[in-house]
Amino acid sequence: MASSASRVLRSLAKELGRVYRKEKLQDVPAYAYLHEQMKNFEVTDEKICRAHNEVQHVAETYLCYLESLRKQEELSQQYKGRGERSVESSAEIVGLKLPKLFSEDAPADKPDP
Amino acid sequence: MAAPLVSQKFLTSCLKSKNISHVFECVKSVRNLHNPRDNLKKFYRQATIATSDGWYEINLDKRKLRTPHGNIFRVPSEPLALAVATEWNSQDKVINRHNMHLTSLCNTALENPFHRTREQLTETIIHFLETDTICYRLTEPPELEKMEREQWDPILQWAADRYGLEITPTCSIAPPIVSDESKEIIRRHLLSYSDWALFGYHFAVDSIKSLLIIMALVDKHIGVETAVDLARLEQYFQTSRWGSVEWHHDVELYELRCRLSAAALFIHWCSESSTIKQKAALAPV
């Protein structure tokens, strides 16, 4: 039990470390709270009358939340659309070219002799 | 990327303005100008929590976080506030509002946009029982039928042992048979939760269309991963046979896990009463 609790705490520390990249983990309030809860749970599990693995279950749930958020974000970054193609590139796919547009700056074609 | 830039400039100029009503007008017009799907640029460095009147608030740098209607954002529990702050801290460059499930759950509970009463909310949740995912069984292919029996029956059994619910699953289009007593038991059970927790319940049940799985999850009988796997059993069966498409099936899997874990945490933190008791001998003098 203790080993799986510390495993969850370690994974949570890793996930929170990805969120708070600059701060020291010990200074992050969320981590401090978590650490305290897990420690309390270890020492006085029976005394404070919590359900046997309540803290563990909540910690695992939170870990699942952070992990899934990150993985989902990674996947959507990987597969997100880059918007629509331009008219030129769509024409190119089927081997066509757009006609050149008239502009005044471009040198006018020489009239046939 | 031009739109978020404009809105950020707009917001900062609004926030500099001293006139409160002007700020409201600006914020309103910002809201109307931009589709909610447009992401706001990150305009703060750090989100922290603060207490006031026994509630917990979120500060983005020096400013208080507000709900979409402009009320102060506040939550009843410390871990929930910490988790919401972590959600805001985890945003990088742009604020991805559709991925902040805990924040949006709190917003829903604070503002109750559809003006639902406790009774209405409970009835909506119970309504899902009549079409509960794990009560609709397929008879073929036989492998799937076996899987459903092996994985869903224990949940029904658990519900029968824990709450005395009598539900007979169905294999046809007819709805499963749920006794009136069972509905009454669930109604009483749900009404024992706080308003906030009921919003979480509704969000969770709505995500996977199964009340029984959510009850098992909230009672900490199963974990989030198991709950999502149970709800996606048929899809799991089909993808294991025909192949899984990462940009659809995996995205959906993680999305559901996010939603369910957020809802489970929300329910837990909103219905938890303080459990630490001082020793009786140490009475204050």
According to the model, what pLDDT value does residue A8 have?
A: 84
B47-111 shares its CATH topology with B118-279 = no
Pick the CATH number of B118-279 from 3.40.190.10, 3.40.50.920, 1.10.3580.10, 3.40.50.300: 1.10.3580.10
Identify the CA nearest to B39 among candidates A63, A16, A73. A73
Instruction: Please state the domain extents for chain A.
Output: 2-80
pLDDT surpassing 80 at residue B11? no
Looking at residues B16-21, what average pLDDT do you find? Answer: 45
B219 touches chain A (CB under 8 A): no
B265 touches chain A (CB under 8 A): yes
Residue among B37, B82, B228, B249 with most chain A CBs within 10 A, to mutate: B82
Q: Looking at CA atoms only, how far is residue B10 from chain A in angstroms?
A: 26
Looking at residues B185-194, what average pLDDT do you find? Answer: 92
Grade residue B59 by pLDDT with cuts at 50, 70 and 90.
very high
pLDDT surpassing 70 at residue B282? no
- Give, in words, the CATH class of B47-111: alpha beta
Judged by CB atoms within 8 Å, which residues 103-162 of B form the interface with A?
Answer: none
B261 touches chain A (CB under 8 A): yes
With CA atoms as reference, the chain A residue closest to B252 would be A72
- Residue A19 with chain B: CB contacts under 8 Å: 86, 89-90
Instruction: Please state the domain extents for chain B.
Output: 47-111, 118-279
Cβ of A61 within 8 Å of Cβ of B277? The answer is no
What backbone torsions phi and psi does residue B178 show, to the nearest 5 degrees?
-120, 125
Polymer length of chain B = 285
Q: How far apart are CA B268 and CA B262, in angstroms?
A: 10
With CA atoms as reference, the chain B residue closest to A36 would be B79
Q: What is the pTM of this model?
A: 0.78
Q: Looking at CA atoms only, how far is residue A92 from chain B in angstroms?
A: 27
ipTM value of the model?
A: 0.78
A60 touches chain B (CB under 8 A): yes
- Residue A76 with chain B: CB contacts under 8 Å: 251
B99 touches chain A (CB under 8 A): yes
Cβ of B275 within 8 Å of Cβ of A51? The answer is no
pLDDT-flagged residues of chain A (< 70): 1-3, 41-52, 106-113
According to the model, what pLDDT value does residue A81 have?
A: 74
A44 touches chain B (CB under 8 A): no
A30 touches chain B (CB under 8 A): yes
Identify the CA nearest to A55 among candidates A99, A5, A96. A5
With CA atoms as reference, the chain A residue closest to B48 would be A29
Interface size between A and B, measured as CB pairs under 8 A: 80
Q: How far apart are CA A25 and CA B221, in angstroms?
A: 31
With CA atoms as reference, the chain B residue closest to A57 would be B220
Residue A19 has its nearest CB partner, among B86, B254, B276, at B86
Cβ of A76 within 8 Å of Cβ of B48? The answer is no
Q: How far apart are CA B259 and CA B248, in angstroms?
A: 16
Give ∠ CA B104-B109-B115 in degrees, rounded to 5.
115
Angle between helices B251-271 and A54-79 (to 10 degrees): 150
- Residue A50 with chain B: CB contacts under 8 Å: 275
B256, B259, B262, B265 alpha-carbon torsion, rounded to 10°: -70
The pLDDT tens digits of the residues spanning B78-92 come to 899 999 999 999 988
B90 touches chain A (CB under 8 A): yes
The pLDDT tens digits of the residues spanning A78-99 come to 888 777 888 888 888 898 888 8
Cβ of A58 within 8 Å of Cβ of B265? The answer is yes
According to the model, what pLDDT value does residue B279 have?
A: 42
Q: What DSSP letter does each residue of A57-95 carry, written as one string?
A: HHHHHHHHHHHHHHHHHHHHHHH----PPPHHHHHHHTT
According to the model, what pLDDT value does residue B177 have?
A: 87
